[in-house]
Homo-oligomer: A and B are copies of this chain.
């Protein structure tokens, strides 16, 4: 199940620093973009490649934070739960996304695959040494972290102040924008997560998620393609309904 990553498996190498990773797909803040070919080689030598099944756990809250990860294929949910089981999903990760960075010694949240997935895993200590030797990567990671913070801010606004319709509309638009580069507008947008996971992301219940999607459907704003894909029919209306901040 684990093997050392080959060059192409982790990240295409080019002289041009801004070139997106060929394996991960284009990601604005992909960590590789700070690296030249020689540095990519060094980093790749440190990675362990993992193939994960559906609903497989990468780590749980409280686990010692021994590794950091870069998702290369599939989708992952990051969540945090209360003792009685109430769960808040913090975000859905897509290929190119980085996860597992912790300020302390243990993970503060759970990470679990939604689909089959591939990740590059690094020993935390090894990765930190690499960061010390390659400060530009640390700076890029800092940009990734502040980008994540900005996204967390948008999510807090959604959870604290938006209505059910606004939450679902925002969720759909976010998802579309993030997977947008890989899909044509006319293609249906894949929903790799269940209604329960959408509910836990939006702070609603599955019934409300279902009802809101139903309302959007009968209002001709979206079309449901099976239960796990959506086609956006009316961009502007969806935008309007999202309560754009």
Q: Which residues of A are interface residues toward B (Cβ below 8 A)?
A: 29, 61, 80-84, 86-88, 90, 101-104, 108-109, 131-132, 135, 138-139, 141-150, 152-157, 159-162, 200, 202-203, 243-245
Contact = CB atoms under 8 A, between A and B. Distances in A.
Contact of A135 (B109, B138, B146, B152): B138
Contacts of A147: 103
A200 B19 CA distance: 42
B160 A245 contact: no
B149 A145 contact: yes
Contact of A80 (B83, B88, B101, B157): B157
A82 B243 contact: yes
Contact of A150 (B103, B139, B153): B103
16 contacts: A61-B245, A80-B245, A84-B243, A88-B156, A88-B160, A90-B153, A101-B146, A103-B143, A108-B150, A109-B150, A131-B142, A132-B139, A141-B142, A149-B149, A152-B153, A160-B202
Nearest to A202: B160
A157 B108 contact: no
Main secondary structure of the interface of A (DSSP, over half): helix
Copies assembled: 2
Given A87-B161, A142-B138, A149-B145, A82 B156 contact: no
Contact of A149 (B84, B135, B152): B152
Given A139-B132, A153-B109, A159 B82 contact: no
Nearest to A163: B86
Given A131-B139, A152-B152, A203 B83 contact: no
Contact of A139 (B29, B61, B138, B144): B138
Nearest to A152: B152
Contacts of A162: 82, 86
Contacts of A135: 132, 135, 138
A18 to B, nearest CB: 16
A83 B157 contact: no
A44 to B, nearest CB: 22
A210 to B, nearest CB: 18
A82 B169 CA distance: 15
A41 B245 CA distance: 41
A99 to B, nearest CB: 11
